[in-house]
Homo-oligomer: A and B are copies of this chain.
Amino acid sequence: MRRWNGWGDDSFHLELPDNGIDFLRERLGTAEPLPEATLEAVCKQVPKSRIPAHDHVYTDSETRIRHARGQSLPDWLAMRSGEFGVFPDAVALPETSEQVAELLQWARKQDLVVIPYGGGTSVAGHINPADSGKPVLTLSLARMNRMVDLDPESQIATFGAGTPGPLVESQLLAQGYTLGHFPQSFELSTIGGWVASRSSGQQSLRYGRIEQLFAGGRIQTFDGTWDIPTFPASAAGPDPREIVLGSEGRFGIITEVKVRVMPVPDRESFHVLFFPNWEQARSCARRLVQNRTFLSMLRLSNVVETETQLALAGHPRMIGGLEKFLKWRGAGEGKCMMTVGLTGTPLQCRTGLGELKQIARDYDGVYAGTYLGRKWEAKRFTMPYLREALWQGGYVVDTLETATDWDNVDTLMARIEQTLRQGLEADGEPVHVFTHLSHVYSQGCSIYTTYVFRCADSYSETQARWARLKHAASEVIVRNRGTISHQHGVGRDHAPYLPIEKGPVTMMVLRSLSRTLDPDQRLAPGVLLDDQTASEVSNDS
């Protein structure tokens, strides 16, 4: 069953190898986990709902608890401590787009706040209710999880917005198709959530981001049904899809999503290469993407992440052998690991692999075959379970991500890492920090940084440590040509930094759109657009 207070299914446990825990102890010291609240205890805290009875609306405590929080680190700490703060007053589970429209009108009459809810996988506070004085209705699309149409000629599939990743792919696979959108949250996140938050999948190099996949659909607004027709391309004014993409529930509720799909590829394989140092590895990544080499994925770990990944991989004897081989080939200390996907026809894959090896040679890359690639593939969606495993060891893990142009990648990565590494110096606490580039574009790439630190001796101090790190790193990102998010979205947590990134005219435009489509500011208030400025956040923390 799905965990009520953490990621994923409670029957699945990601075990850390012994040397993995040793690796962290060496760097961060030994640690103790904090005591956890039980579901029963939290149920007792849930106040009486302020929302009257209605079809498709549930007010029982457990349902409200299970829809109160996402998967950010503050959400995790709230769920583990049992200190939730605000709960939604009710959860609606409509089954049709018409029921969503009807619920919106009802919410207006009842003067409710409405929070659209997909898979509940937000790591930026998208779905957390706030204490506004108004009752909060969380509107889950979970029951709208079916493929309702597939046009094989135009390669367009239509889904209920609440369809989670595995149901998207299995319903398509039954007809020989794939969407190819594989965010790390794939197991739980939904197709509507991907659109609302401008998600990116691991193989975006082949399939594109959700922006390229989203072809049209249906959004319920307070002004009626917003149907966005499908066109392969259009010069007829600004594209309405682009206003929905990233709207994070502020403009309406996405109920139906049409996406561009492809036949299941003939071939797919994942390969690993090592480079002697970061400079050569990053230059090779840039060259490959700017060369339009036919790859479906390119992921590049920096030195510390490479070291960490090899330490956490288990099989120390085999990894030791690999490292000897790599050292002999010139990739010793300071080496960086690149994982590459090849997907397509046999000829396309052969050509891509040929170009990959040829270009990698110019940067002293060592081709290490598909063994580690298969390992990556097997674990590609299990990383979110790592938080549970580390938590049990007394460690807290979180990730930060941004994107920037190639000329700024090294500078921004170094500043983010340094900021995090030094972020708890006042407490005398080290922070273990490592980074990979997870998505590459001709113009630049994403920067995905993981940071691990020890639990403090209370939840509130652990949360305060996180807040200091998160705020400092967010400031560094938006003050140094990074976007506040490449794939996680804005939510509440990033909203204070958005005006620095976007500037006053874009903010005016976004606020105007929100007021036009939601005059009472009833939809997900505080998400995406916030009146609190970054300097106020700074003073808070």
Contact = CB atoms under 8 A, between A and B. Distances in A.
A132 B194 CA distance: 45
A314 B512 CA distance: 57
A524 B268 CA distance: 51
Contacts of A348: 292, 294, 351, 355
A422 B135 CA distance: 61
A444 interface: yes
A454 interface: no
A503 interface: yes
A292 to B, nearest CB: 6
A229 interface: yes
B488 A235 contact: yes
B242 A238 contact: yes
Nearest to A443: B232
Nearest to A294: B294
A434 B240 CA distance: 31
Contact of A237 (B247, B444, B505): B247
Contacts of A34: none
A506 interface: yes
Contact of A506 (B240, B294, B354, B485): B240
A512 B512 contact: yes
A245 B442 CA distance: 20
Contacts of A223: 504-505, 508
A503 B226 contact: yes
A429 interface: no
A344 interface: yes
A232 B403 contact: yes
A154 B215 CA distance: 29
Interface in A375-426: 403-408
A325 to B, nearest CB: 29
A339 to B, nearest CB: 19
Interface string A505-539: 11011101100110000000000100000000000
A309 B247 CA distance: 47
Interface string A192-222: 0000011110000000010100010001010
Contact of A443 (B215, B347, B482): B215
Interface stretch (A111-119, A163-171, A494-502): A494-502
A483 interface: yes
A156 to B, nearest CB: 6
A239 B242 contact: yes
Contacts of A444: 154, 231-232
Given A155-B290, A294-B294, A405-B151, A236 B494 contact: yes
A235 B512 contact: no
Given A351-B351, A444-B154, A489 B235 contact: yes
A291 interface: yes
A455 interface: no
A484 interface: yes
Nearest to A497: B236
A227 interface: yes
B505 A513 contact: no
A4 interface: no
Nearest to A245: B238
A247 B238 contact: yes
A505 B235 contact: no
17 contacts: A153-B407, A198-B237, A227-B503, A228-B506, A229-B501, A232-B404, A236-B485, A236-B489, A237-B246, A237-B489, A238-B243, A238-B510, A260-B442, A262-B442, A347-B355, A508-B516, A509-B516
Interface of A: 151, 153-156, 197-200, 209, 211, 215, 219, 221, 223-240, 242-248, 260, 262-263, 286, 290-292, 294, 344-345, 347-348, 351, 354-355, 403-408, 439, 441-446, 481-490, 494, 498, 501-506, 508-510, 512-513, 516-517, 528
Given A224-B504, A226-B506, A509-B516, 17 more contacts: A197-B235, A223-B505, A224-B505, A225-B505, A231-B482, A232-B404, A233-B441, A233-B483, A233-B486, A235-B489, A237-B498, A238-B245, A238-B510, A240-B505, A243-B243, A263-B290, A512-B516
The 4 closest A-B pairs by CB, nearest first: A232-B444, A242-B242, A154-B405, A226-B505
